Amino acid sequence: MDIRQWMSGSLFFATALMLFVSFLSYRKRHLPVAKTMILIMLSAACYSLGYAFEVLSRSLDEVKLSLQIEYLGIPFVTTLWFFQVIQFTGTASRYRKRLAVLLFVIPAAVFFLHMTNDWHHLVYEQYVLNESATIPLYTTVKGPWYKVHTVYNYSILLFGMLLFIPMYWRALPAVRKQIVVLLLGAVAPMFFNLFFWTGSNVDLTPFGFAVSGIAYVWGILRFNLLRLTPLAMAKVFETIRDGVVLFDYEGQIVSYNSAAEKVLPELGLTKRYPVDMEKVLSASPELLERIRAASDEDERFPFHRFHGNRKRHYSCSLSFIYDSGRVTIGKILMFNDITELKESEAGLRENARQLFELNAFKDKLFTVVAHDIRDPFALLVSLTELLGDELTAADFEHAELVRELKGQVQSTFHLVENLLDWYRSQKGKVVFHPLGWNLQQVVRQALLLAGSRAGMKQIQLTEQIDEKLTVRADKEMLDLILRNLLSNAIKFTGLGGMIEIGAKLEGDRIVVSVRDNGAGMDDQTSELLRLEEPFLKVMVNGDDSGDTRFGLALTREFVRIHGGSLWFESKPGVGTTFSFSLSGSAVRLDAFDNGGMEEDYESDFGG
């Protein structure tokens, strides 16, 4: 095999290799940088293929035809590589289309001028037969546009390398390897091309593209060259909201993002990286100690610094970076700013402390109400009752005023009792003892207690309850429910009115109804009860129905504790019917004989 066959075979192999790189790039054609790589490799393949034909040429016409194939790629390959560098580095992203047009003006002109070279000889002035060697068959005398294109190629190669330098120093280790592969793809053809300018008649540049092809295949398969560009990785790194600092296996700071510089401003004072972390982080000895003492496991720890007059809090995460063989190659430190969370937490703690103090004061206040107000009111009720009876018996002329006074005192006393009952229920201090009770006997007992007050207004109290009906309820709560409903009915029923208590069995529930023919419920109370507004919103200064509303709200809560519900129907001028449901049955049971149904249990509740 002579030298021509050996060279042409090597060039055909280089062409096949570059076509293979184009195929690998085509598989990732959705990436702009991969599309550019396809064009670079196709241009280089045309150069290599055409030069293989030129080596095998036997005449000037064959040489010229081979050069036409070569010039399908020669004018564009270097410019395409430079455009790929622009894509990687993100240079002039807003003006990239206009820049592409400008970059390809000279290559397009060279291509056109070579196609028409026989008319003007601006690229090759003449072809000279090489009588001293078989390669090349013809040497060429270069024209002015050939020299223009050469200067242009070397200039953009130089600019491309300069664009890569700053990115290389700030890039992640994996990205640095990609940058080296791309630089090798440009340096290899340029290096081989220099032999041509040192006096050699053989153009070795296509062999340089073969080296580039091998480098690109290695980069694509080993370093994911076209999977994520360095620019994309750098943008991801910079746009992370948390601060990130990268360390190599020697403990040197390799890179950091802008968020990390806000946490550690001293990072921006160092102009060249990598640098020993002790030189940069000397102002944070506790952070240095954490990083040095880190074992092979990831860890989290708190960190804080003062920025101006404000203390910033961070949650730090220190993780190890491994290569494919699980060998530690570095560390990554992340700062998550939790200052606002810490400040909010401190504010919540202060609010909780204040609420605790207010709640303690409220408890003390209700204790005072229970001991220092309730007992005097009870005594006052007894005294007004005695006084009223004596004055009535003596036919005192102001007996009516005394009876009114007695009524107001009793009403206020009931309000205080309801308030204390509600407070105990909210504090969970009321013990719930549901037992079996004869409903008729319980109701008659409640009617007996309310009889004196009803008698003052000549109100007729009746009950229509089957003696077999038995309810399961807490006796004290049931008495309070009935007392409040009867008290309200008496208050709003006029002289000579009627109040009736009835009950009926509906499945396993007993529905108790308290019906009166009084004035009916006012619209405000009716609406608020339907909306279940808190009782504090319904107590109106100067409104004597405030205690009524309060009592109804408390009644509703106690009915709910029994698992039932309270509802009502009211028509102005016709009367009001309050109904509530309780668990029960139609089994004969004496009022206090609950031994056969007793199932005693206690339950604290919070209202």
Domain boundaries, the chain: 3-230, 232-343, 345-424, 432-590
Q: Which of 211-220, 380-389, 458-467, 587-596 has the lowest mean pLDDT?
A: 587-596
Instruction: Give the tens place of pLDDT for each residue, 442-472.
Output: 999 989 888 877 887 889 999 999 888 999 8
Angle (deg, nearest 10), helices 399-426 and 374-393: 160
What integer pLDDT is reported at residue 538 of this predicted model?
41
Show the CA angle centred on residue 112, arms to residues 111 and 118, nearest 5°. Answer: 105
- Asked if domains 3-230 and 232-343 share a fold, the reply is no
In the prediction, which pLDDT does 443 show?
93
3-230: CATH, from 1.20.1070.10, 2.40.50.140, 1.10.10.10, 3.40.50.720: 1.20.1070.10
Tokens encoding 48: 């290599």
Residue 541 has pLDDT above 60, yes or no: no
Q: Where does 432-590 sit in CATH, by number?
A: 3.30.565.10
Q: How many other CB atoms sit within 10 Å of the CB of residue 332?
A: 16
What distance in Å separates the CA atoms of residue 202 and residue 149, rounded to the nearest whole number? 19
Lowest mean pLDDT among 34-48, 403-417, 535-549: 535-549
What average pLDDT does the segment 545-571 reach? 79
The answer to whether 122 and 111 have CB atoms below 8 angstroms apart is no
Higher pLDDT, residue 165 or 324: 165
- Of these ranges, 63-77, 190-204, 237-251, 354-368, the one predicted with the greatest mean pLDDT is 63-77
Would you place residue 57 in the very low, low, confident or very high pLDDT band (cuts 50, 70, 90)? confident
553, pLDDT greater than 50? yes
Residue 604 vs residue 444, higher pLDDT: 444
SS3 of 378-395: HHHHHHHHHHHHHHHHCC
Residue 599: pLDDT band (50, 70, 90) is very low
The pLDDT assigned to 535 comes to: 45
DSSP summary character for residue 265: G
* Mean local confidence (pLDDT), 67-83: 88
What was the pLDDT predicted at 598?
40
Euclidean distance between CA atoms 252 and 278, whole angstroms: 8
Query: Which pLDDT does position 462 carry in this prediction?
Result: 92
Average pLDDT, the chain: 78
Q: Is 185 left (phi over 0), alpha (psi -120 to 50) or beta?
A: alpha
Q: What number is the average pLDDT over the span 88-106?
A: 82
Average pLDDT over residues 338-349: 87
| Arithmetic mean of pLDDT, 401-412 | 70
pLDDT tens-digit profile of 111-153?
A: 999 999 989 999 989 888 877 766 777 788 889 998 998 899 8
Q: In this predicted structure, what is the pLDDT of residue 441?
A: 92
Could you give the residue ranges of the DSSP H alpha helices within 427-561?
A: 439-456, 475-491, 523-531, 546-561
What is the pLDDT averaged over residues 208-237?
A: 63
pLDDT tens across 254-285, in order? 788 888 888 888 888 887 777 888 888 888 88
Q: Is pLDDT above 50 for 435? A: yes
DSSP 337-388: E-HHHHHHHHHHHHHHHHHHHHHHHHHHHHHHIIIIIHHHHHHHHHHHHHHH
Contacts of 239 (CB under 8 A, 6+ apart): none
Pairing of strands 243-248, 252-256: antiparallel
Protein fold of 232-343? Beta-Lactamase (3.30.450)
